[in-house]
Amino acid sequence: MARTVRVRSTTWLAEGVVQVEFRDPAGGELPRWEPGAHLSLRLGNGLVRQYSLCGDPAERDRWTVAVLREPNSRGGSAWVHERLTAGTLVEVEGPQNNFALEGAERHLLIAGGIGVTPLRAMAGQLDGDDADWRMVYCGRSRSGMAFVDELAELGGHRVRVHADDEHGGPPDLTGELAGLAPGTLVYCCGPEPLLNAVEAALPDSADLRVERFRAPERSAAAAPDADSFDVVCASSGVRVPVGADRSVLEVLDEAGVAVPSSCQEGICGTCETKVLSGSPDHRDFVLSPAEQESGNTMMICVSRCRSAELVLDL
């Protein structure tokens, strides 16, 4: 559900990283959220962008996000940095959580740069629960890494900060992950090279949960073939063909069936739609293998259908 919030303050956390604090304009409580959740901000330039909540879920009167100004910003982070000032009203959706903290014997949190934001909230919860957890926080240089002091204070020996410029290069993740204790659930959020390195170094037996900033590049050779199929909206009876080069989201939009969307890369979860029948061909990075197996919902911006007809709860 969309709501309007007011920017209460902005604070510089690190080089290029601004924290934005939102409050309810009428001073009321904001909806609850769990670590790993994000807000979708409707930016005034027509874009919608997701930012992880990084504060304390127990603070019901405020939400905070931290945003790195990307040098190659597609308009999201630059807008946040330039336009969000105290008093600005912003439309937001959420909180929504595709990266929820699950129970495990022990947790390892691996953060890369601004990927620390959801993990900072997780660290707070795990510490409050007296759980067995540790964190590896990587970045190019401490000057650009938000929450370093706060995390060190929170976790002490549990938090290892690795700044590349202090260690002569990136961390040895193979060594870090080689001796992983059984029952460890690993959470990783950061840039694609870090996620790839963690996926490559993780023992087969370990469980990993990741949150991506962008969909990974797929080479043409690795891209799965796309077939044509029909999509049917159960409520309205709208039926439209989905060509091999079109997305379900696109053809429905053209047919007048508007479904909220944001990333259009299968990473944010905004376009998740209930499936009534058909055989979804999941191509997103949000649903877990078990959720994909169940076939109950799909991300219609990227996912397709293996059967001739896909019936959606629209």
Residues at the site binding ligand FES, with contacts judged by CB under 6 A = 261-264, 266-271, 284, 286, 299, 301
Nearer to ligand FES, 184 or 262 (CB): 262
What kind and span of H or E run contains 190?
strand 184-190
Nearer to ligand FES, 41 or 268 (CB): 268
Residue 254 to residue 261: CA distance in whole angstroms: 14
The minimum distance between CB 137 and ligand FES, in angstroms, equals 27
The minimum distance between CB 210 and ligand FES, in angstroms, equals 15
Nearer to ligand FES, 30 or 215 (CB): 215
- Ramachandran sector of residue 171 (left: φ over 0; alpha: ψ -120 to 50; beta: rest): beta
Nearer to ligand FES, 37 or 109 (CB): 37
Nearer to ligand FES, 233 or 263 (CB): 263
Beta carbons within 10 angstroms of residue 58's beta carbon: 9
The minimum distance between CB 266 and ligand FES, in angstroms, equals 5
The minimum distance between CB 150 and ligand FES, in angstroms, equals 30
The minimum distance between CB 312 and ligand FES, in angstroms, equals 13
SS3 252: helix
Nearer to ligand FES, 268 or 311 (CB): 268
The minimum distance between CB 265 and ligand FES, in angstroms, equals 6
Q: Quick one: tokens of 53?
A: 């909540």
The minimum distance between CB 26 and ligand FES, in angstroms, equals 30
Alpha helices per DSSP H over the chain: 76-83, 116-128, 148-155, 164-167, 173-178, 192-201, 248-254, 289-294
Residue 294 to residue 125: CA distance in whole angstroms: 30
Burial of residue 177 (CB within 10 Å: 0-12, 13-18, 19+) is buried
Nearer to ligand FES, 10 or 264 (CB): 264
| 184: amino acid identity, one letter | T
Tallying the residues shown for the chain, one arrives at 314
| 136: amino acid identity, one letter | V
Radius of gyration in angstroms for the set of CA atoms belonging to the chain, rounded to a whole number: 20
Q: What are the Cα distances from residue 272, in Å, to 190, 209, 248, 298?
A: 23, 19, 12, 5
